[in-house]
Amino acid sequence: MAFDPTGTVTVVYDKRHLWHADERGLFTPGGRDAVVLAVGGWRLGLGICYDISFPEHGRAAALAGAHVYVCPSAFAAGNEHRAEIYLAARALENTVYALFVNPVGGPPHRLCGGRTAVHGPDGRAIGRAGTSREEILLADLRPGALAEVRGFLRMLEEHRTGT
């Protein structure tokens, strides 16, 4: 949820894709793929954890005008390689910045392994945290990079739906 300075809810995002019985037994999936939050001139497409595994989720955010696809997560230690592949793919195929946030540690039965990362609109990693301790990751997101990459890679512009 996002709130304005008066405390009014401005954006609500409910996780769209639930992780197996672990989550399906506790939660109901959200009904919208594209939820975008505006912050300081940037449009952030929202996802949570397993949502990053679905190309159409990131695409819906990009088609809704997202500049950045943001996916805070809890990928179990040893599985961060999947998130790295997903993140690079979501960035490249949608020509957006993509941000994966993953903690280090957690309960002994479900440790998370970090590897928070930011990928540019061309899919390249522009920042990556480690796996052994919590870190603050800073990355320079340039609005001009979106236009530059989209001038060459036109997937959003040339995206076709249906058969």
pLDDT at position 101: 94
Q: Can you give the pTM of this predicted structure?
A: 0.91
pLDDT at position 109: 87
pLDDT at position 140: 92
pLDDT at position 157: 85
pLDDT at position 121: 97
Single-letter amino acid, residue 40: G
Q: Where are the chain's structural domains?
A: 15-51
The helix or strand, by DSSP H or E, that contains position 50, with its residue range, turns out to be none
pLDDT at position 163: 54
Token pair listed for 4: 């304005």
Token pair listed for 75: 């990928």
Residue segments in the chain with a per-residue pLDDT below the cut of 50: none
